[in-house]
Structures are given as structure tokens and as C-alpha cells.
A and B are shown apart, each in its own frame.
Chain A
Amino acid sequence: MIRTEEMLLNVGPQHPSTHGVFRLVVKIDGEIITEATPVIGYLHRGTEKLAEDLQYTQIIPYTDRMDYLSAMTNNYVICHAVETMMGIQIPERADFLRVMAMELGRIASHLVAWGTYILDLGATSPFIYAFRDREMIINMLNELSGARLTFNYMRVGGVKWDAPEGWVDGVREFVPYLREQLKGYHNLVSGNEIFLDRVKGVGVYSKEEAINYSLSGPNLRSTGVKWDLRKDEPYSIYDRFDFNVITREEGDCLARYHVRLEEIEESLKILEQACEQFPAEGEIMAKVPKIIKAPKGEAFVRIESPRGEIGCYISSDGKKEPYRLKFRRPSFYNLQILPKLLVGENIANLIAILGAVDIVLGEVDG
């Protein structure tokens, strides 16, 4: 038996593999992690505090900066919360634009998750492929909203801009293109032996643990829980589309990897159907008051973001600003299980496990 000694290792806050400003203090005994303490808050901007002095429409740009890899779902969740409270019906065309924007965002987010995950594990070229395809989505969303990442696209009652001429056709053409590329992704990485060695059976948790730790999204579905808010608590017009909820039983990093890649395919299915059903014309904004005031009371809504369940709680006293605004940020909840996963693992698996959780620090810190 070789004598080992305990060592304190600090990862981050500035480290490329932490995907942002995230610090992890790990105690290692030889190569085995005995304790892991996540330190967060480096990117805490006090969105919820700021929102108490802002009108609802003014809060939307702040939500762009939470989960900046899929800002469309963040836009949607606050609009949806206010609309739920006010009982606003959204025009069909606006709903289609919203769903298409969100699904494009979901694909873009999963592409980043895929590319950076492989990058974390040491392969550089898949990252470039992922960003090449993501760039096409970014361009499409740019055409739609005028911004590449911080869209500020949705409004209470609809969307800010109508789709430009030919935009839907662009999406329609993109679907088969990405389907073809996805095969390439699988060829490139999914069967790679080195990759499989790094992720198979690593960072395993059970279904019960996942639920107990409030995990959601692909992190939850990778354990076999068939639960997707788009399907099970349908919001917007998701009930009009035929798509599957992807699950895996293993609950390891590989399962999470596959869930994300296959979710891209499901999103493509939704996009394809949305392009078919897209109404030729119609309003993009519902009739809403000039100054939006949520009625007195409180509401909590949750929707499915690429990272899991994003929720928005609004407590209103009938004014044009929320009395209290709270976001249920999936990355924040998903990260909680990390110390538990890391203890007993080999230090080499640290990054593999962290990367598979797929966090966005803007969202973790709020």
C-alpha cells in the first residue's frame, strides 16, 4: 500500500472547464476525492432585486443574461408567468414564433453542451463542428430578433418582431441539414472508445436520488424518469406537436450525453412540424394594456428549458413592477448534487462529471 497524503485542490473560479466563474474546492487523498465544496456567486447580479424596481417589459433583457445559452426560454418564462396571471391569450402566429425560437435555442444550447463536453474530455475538433452548426442557429435568431445571444425577443402578449421574409424557409432547410450533421456527430464521438472509457459508468446516480436532489431536464431523464414539461404540463402550443421524451436508464455521464443529442433530434421534429403548420399571416401581439400590471396575487409557472425546469414566481401587489420576482433556475438546482457525485471519484473524473451536469453560471448565480 502506497502512503498518500491529503491535499487541498482549488479548481477555478477562472478555469475553462468550469464553463464560467465557478470554483470548486476539492480535498483529495491521493487521486481520490474525499470532499468537494462548490463555491458560487461570482456572477450574482441581483436580478431579482433589480426586478423589483422594473416594469415587466424591462425585466425581459435581464432574463437574457441568466441562461445566456438559451435566452429564448428565459424570455418565455417571465412572459408566460405574467400572461398566466393576466389571463392573456397569445395569437397563434406569435406562439409559433415563440416555440420555433425556443426550440432553435434548445438545439443551440445542446450543441454547446455537446461541443464543450467533448472539449473538456480532450477532443478539440468536435467543438468546432458544434459551433459551426450553432452559428447557423445564431444567425437565424439574429434575423428574428436582431441579437445573437441576448435576444430580448418576447413580450408579454406575443413577440417583438415578426419573422422576416423567408425566415421559415430557412428553418425548414436547416432541419435536414442538422439531421445529416448529427449522424456525423455520432460517427465522430459516440462510438469512440476513449470517450466511452471516460464517461461510461461515471457519475452515476439513481432515479430516486435525482428526484430527491431536485434535478430536472436531461439530468433527470438520464435516470429513466419520463418527464418533460413540454409533454406533461403542455404550455404554449407544444400539445400540437408529435415528439418523444428521451430517457435513458443508466444515469451516468454517457446517458446524459445521449439524452442531449437525441433531444436535438426531437427538437428538429418539432421545428419541422412548426414550419408546416406555421400560419401564413396573423397578429404577433395580443391586445395588452400599455402598462402591464399583473393582478394582485402570486403565481409560479415552470417550463422546460434545455437545462431542466425553469420557473418564475411573481408576487404582485397590482403595480406595474413585481413585488417579488423569483426564478427557479435549473442549473442552480442541478449543481447541488455535485459534491455527492464527486466524493469517492477519481480526480480525473471531476471534469467529466461537472461537464455532464451542463451548467451555465449566469443561471447558477442569478
Chain B
Amino acid sequence: MSGEKDLDQLKKEAVAKAKAEAIAKRQAKAAGEGAPKQEDKPAEQALSQDTHPVEPAQTAGTPAEDGADLAKKKAAAAAKAKAAALAKKKREGIEEEEAPAPVETTPASAQPSEDGDDLAKKKAAAVAKAKAAAAAKRKAMELAGESTPAEETPAAQTSDEADDLAKKKAAAVAKAKAAAAAKRKAMELAGESTPAEETPAVDASDDGDDLAKKKAAAVAKAKAAAAAKAKAAATAKAKAAGTGDADTAAGGDDEKAKAKAAAVAKAKAAAAAKAKAAGAAKGGDVSPADTAEKPSANQPFLDKYRKVIEENLGADVLEDSYINKLSKDVPTLVAKKDTYFKVAQFLKYNELLGFDYLSELHGTDFVTHMEVYVHLFSYKNRQSVALKVKIDRDEPTIESLQPIWAGANWPECEAYDLLGIKFTGHPNLHRIMLGEDWVGHPLRKDYEPYDVEV
């Protein structure tokens, strides 16, 4: 569903872009006719150079025109500005003295000084900048693999109709700020002080920008984005100072609203943390925010299993044991490699445990080690347990559970076939899926197909 929405939006954007480009081209052509002096190759340069001096006159000359035309012109201006930036980048280092006015690396302030303080032109420049910013941002978001927050995308999309994108963006940032404020409040209520997560939305976008800067081909674009954002942020700050707090205070009266705001803020903080982790190109860790939750309903069962095992087999047979909250709170036991079989046998034959049914057995290649995961169930006690064991990846050998549960026969063959785990004591360990002549074990993370045709 969401994927299609994305596609629609992309399509819309593409259409708008194409339109703007067409208009720009037409105008450029009209302008180019007036002064046709350059060769074919640096045509773009010529266009941008020529059109820019012309453009302010155009926009200034028709201030009384209706809104639709204005919007069109704005779009054209935006496209032009983009082209100019591109041309400039190309030209840089070749002909420095000729560098014209438009999208300079320095923001708005530089422009009016060169071309006179024409209001319409300024506005057009702002739109262009904002558009570039939006584009750069979107790109950055995509690069970071980030799911864009809901408030931001619509603002970016409607850029063509929108009069002032910067304003909208500012509003969005203000919203984020307000959420942050609400969150801070909620945090305080919860007795937690977390200064690091103050401005999640801004953090996330900044990270995206960094990435864009590094990766985007158009450096000027990214710079314009940064400038626009800085401006927007400044406006937002001013706004938030004025209204944001009041808003949240008003909402804060309501208990429900508070809780909701807190939840939103939490999600945002998590997203920001994730974006940060992604930016740092390290394995992102989901914030363990829920450490102070109440114990699981299955905790007594886990305690019981552990107690019975430790009483009978010794205290050091288990490497770890915990409740897996992601997996419907299943009690999970991690056996040591040499006690795995013993623990499994005990789980089945002990009267208190009685796990008579093997629901699932499979292996996983975690690169640092292999792991065998066994899901057991007791029809007598109607209880589940997960048993895991970590084994050496280079020499993946472990005892077979087939003698305990006959149902482990084929799953172990499958694990052997696809991962190369050898189960000692298995009556007929063979490559059950791929056949004996297959080279390699496909589910290993370093698997290279022997025959690329297959």
C-alpha cells in the first residue's frame, strides 16, 4: 500500500519537474534568441548566463499578474536556478571572472546586492532554494534508508503549488519542536532526564544532510539546502518559542494527549537514534527503552525450567536464559555446546518438563558463529520453550536430536544441506533438498554459487 503511494508521489513529482523544465526551456529559448552568441557545447552555460539578467526584469515587469501565472513563473525560476547552479559548477575553475549572480553558495543576502532588491526575484530564489533543499533532503533520506516522517513528505511534494515552501517547512519543524517539547515534558514526568534526544527531527535531517553532502554530485544543491534549512530552523525557533510551548501546554492539560505526545516523541527519538546509527555506518541498535517493564507472564515458567535443570544437571549447563519478548514471550534457554544434548534429553524426559514435541529445528549463520534453534512444546503441560546453542562456524558440529525426537530427522538434514551443520549421531544425514552433488551450503552468508547459471 505504502509502496504504491510512494510511486504515485514520485510520478507526480516527475510530472511537475518535467513541466517546470519545459517552461524553463521555452523561456530560455525566448531569451536566447535575443542574444545568440555561444557555441553548442556550453549551451547550458550560455542559457543560464543570459537568462539570469533577463529574469528579474520579467518578474518585476509583471507584478500584477494572477496567482497561476506567478506559480508557473516561480517553477520556471526554480528550474532555472537549478540549471544555473549546475552550469556554475561546471564552469568553476574554467572561467572564474564570468561567474554570474544567481544561486551562490552564500544564501539570500548575496543576491539582492547584485541585482537590486527586487522582491519577486527574491521570492523566486527562495523557492528555488527550498526546492533544491527538498530534493537534496529527499535524496539523503533515501540514501539513509530512512522512512520519511509523515509531516515532511507532503510539504516537499506540494512544492509547485505552495507559495512558500520555507514557511511550510518551518511549520513542520515547529511541529517537531513542539513534539520534542512535549516529549521533554513527558520525560520529566517519567523521572528521566535525557538531554541527548532534545531535537530528534532536526538531528535526523542533519544526518541526512551530511550524507547528502558526501554523496550528492551537486555540492551547490546541498549547500543551498543547508542554507534554506538554517533559515527555516531559525524561523521555526522563533515561532516555537512563541507558540509551540503554549500549544503543548494547552494540550498538556489532557492526560490522553500527553500520553500520545509521549508515544510520538518516543517513536521519533527511536527513529532519530536509528538514523544516527545509520549515519555512522555501524550496526544500529534499537534503543532498549523498555527495560523497566513488568515481568512476563512466562517468567515463572522460565524460572521453573532453570531451577529444575540446575538442580539436576548442575549450575553451569546453561549459557543464558531469558524471556524472548519479541517471540510471544517464549522462555528461551541457551545451552552450551557440550551440554546441548544433555539439556535436550532432560527437557524431554524430566517429568516436570516433559517437552515431548519438537515443533521446529533450524540453523542460522550469524557469521561469528552458527546457531541451532529448537522450538519445543509439551502437550502435557501445554508449554513452549526455545532451546538454542551456539556452535563454531568453521567446524559446525553438534549432536543430533534425532534419537530424542524422531521429528528432528529431516530438519537436521535440511540444516546440514543448507548450512553445513553436521549432526553427529544422525542415522541418515544427507543433502535432502539440493542433492549430493551440490557445491556449498546456500544459507551460509559467504555462499558463492558454484554455477552462476543456476
Question: A residues bordering B, Cβ < 8 Å?
Answer: 40-41, 44, 46, 48-49, 57, 84-85, 155, 160, 208-209, 211-215, 225, 227, 232, 285, 288-291, 293, 295-302, 309, 311, 313, 315, 317-318, 320, 323-324, 326, 328, 332-333, 335-337, 365-366
Q: B2, B435, B442 — which one has the most chain A CB atoms within 10 A of its CB?
A: B2
Distance (whole angstroms) from the CB of A335 to the closest CB of chain B: 8
> A41 and B433 in contact (CB under 8 A), knowing A288-B2, A290-B6?
yes
**Residues A212 and B410 in contact, CB atoms below 8 Å apart:** no
Question: B residues bordering A, Cβ < 8 Å?
Answer: 1-3, 5-6, 145, 147-148, 274, 283-286, 324, 326-328, 330, 356-360, 362, 364-365, 373, 375, 379, 382, 386, 405-411, 414, 418, 432-435, 442-443
The distance in angstroms between the C-alpha atoms of A208 and B284, with both chains bound, is 46
> A315 and B328 in contact (CB under 8 A), knowing A41-B432, A46-B442?
no
Distance (whole angstroms) from the CB of A359 to the closest CB of chain B: 13
**Residues B356 and A212 in contact, CB atoms below 8 Å apart:** yes
> Contacts of B382 on A, CB cut-off 8 Å?
232
The distance in angstroms between the C-alpha atoms of A323 and B364, with both chains bound, is 9
The distance in angstroms between the C-alpha atoms of A315 and B1, with both chains bound, is 24
Q: Which single member of A289, A317, A336 contacts B406 (CB below 8 Å)?
A: A336
> Could you write out 24 A-B pairs with CB less than 8 Å apart?
A40-B432, A41-B435, A44-B434, A48-B443, A84-B326, A213-B406, A214-B406, A225-B379, A289-B2, A289-B147, A293-B147, A295-B286, A295-B326, A298-B326, A298-B373, A300-B360, A309-B359, A311-B359, A315-B364, A323-B364, A328-B359, A333-B410, A336-B407, A336-B409
Q: Other CB < 8 Å A-B pairs besides A84-B327, A215-B407, A299-B327, 6 of them?
A: A214-B407, A313-B360, A313-B375, A320-B145, A333-B410, A335-B410
The distance in angstroms between the C-alpha atoms of A336 and B402, with both chains bound, is 12
**Residues A212 and B147 in contact, CB atoms below 8 Å apart:** no
The distance in angstroms between the C-alpha atoms of A211 and B432, with both chains bound, is 22
The distance in angstroms between the C-alpha atoms of A211 and B410, with both chains bound, is 15
Distance (whole angstroms) from the CB of B208 to the closest CB of chain A: 15
Distance (whole angstroms) from the CB of B427 to the closest CB of chain A: 11
Distance (whole angstroms) from the CB of A341 to the closest CB of chain B: 12
> Contacts of B3 on A, CB cut-off 8 Å?
57, 290
**Residues B286 and A214 in contact, CB atoms below 8 Å apart:** no
User: Which 10 pairs from chain A and chain B are nearest by CB?
Assistant: A214-B407, A299-B327, A41-B433, A290-B2, A297-B326, A44-B433, A328-B360, A299-B326, A291-B147, A324-B364
**Residues B433 and A40 in contact, CB atoms below 8 Å apart:** yes
> A299 and B324 in contact (CB under 8 A), knowing A160-B1, A291-B147, A336-B406?
yes
> Contacts of B358 on A, CB cut-off 8 Å?
214
Q: Who on chain A is nearest to B367 by CB?
A: A323
> Contacts of A41 on B, CB cut-off 8 Å?
432-435
> Contacts of B443 on A, CB cut-off 8 Å?
48-49, 324
**Residues B373 and A214 in contact, CB atoms below 8 Å apart:** no
**Residues A84 and B433 in contact, CB atoms below 8 Å apart:** no
**Residues B327 and A365 in contact, CB atoms below 8 Å apart:** no
Distance (whole angstroms) from the CB of B121 to the closest CB of chain A: 37
> A332 and B379 in contact (CB under 8 A), knowing A288-B2, A300-B330, A301-B328?
no
Distance (whole angstroms) from the CB of B415 to the closest CB of chain A: 10
Q: Which single member of A227, A295, A317 contacts B283 (CB below 8 Å)?
A: A317
Q: B3, B359, B406, B407 — which one has the most chain A CB atoms within 10 A of its CB?
A: B407
Distance (whole angstroms) from the CB of A217 to the closest CB of chain B: 13
The distance in angstroms between the C-alpha atoms of A49 and B447, with both chains bound, is 10
The distance in angstroms between the C-alpha atoms of A274 and B324, with both chains bound, is 33
**Residues B406 and A301 in contact, CB atoms below 8 Å apart:** no
**Residues B286 and A296 in contact, CB atoms below 8 Å apart:** yes
> Contacts of A291 on B, CB cut-off 8 Å?
2, 145, 147
Distance (whole angstroms) from the CB of A125 to the closest CB of chain B: 36
Q: Who on chain B is nearest to A288 by CB?
A: B2
**Residues B410 and A336 in contact, CB atoms below 8 Å apart:** yes
Q: Which single member of B328, B364, B405, B432 contacts A214 (CB below 8 Å)?
A: B405
**Residues B324 and A311 in contact, CB atoms below 8 Å apart:** no
Q: Which single member of A209, A215, A326 contacts B362 (CB below 8 Å)?
A: A326
Distance (whole angstroms) from the CB of B425 to the closest CB of chain A: 17
**Residues A311 and B360 in contact, CB atoms below 8 Å apart:** yes
> Contacts of B418 on A, CB cut-off 8 Å?
48-49
Distance (whole angstroms) from the CB of B370 to the closest CB of chain A: 11
Q: Who on chain A is nearest to B384 by CB?
A: A233
> Contacts of A366 on B, CB cut-off 8 Å?
433
Q: Which single member of A44, A160, A213, A318 contacts B284 (CB below 8 Å)?
A: A318
**Residues A298 and B434 in contact, CB atoms below 8 Å apart:** no
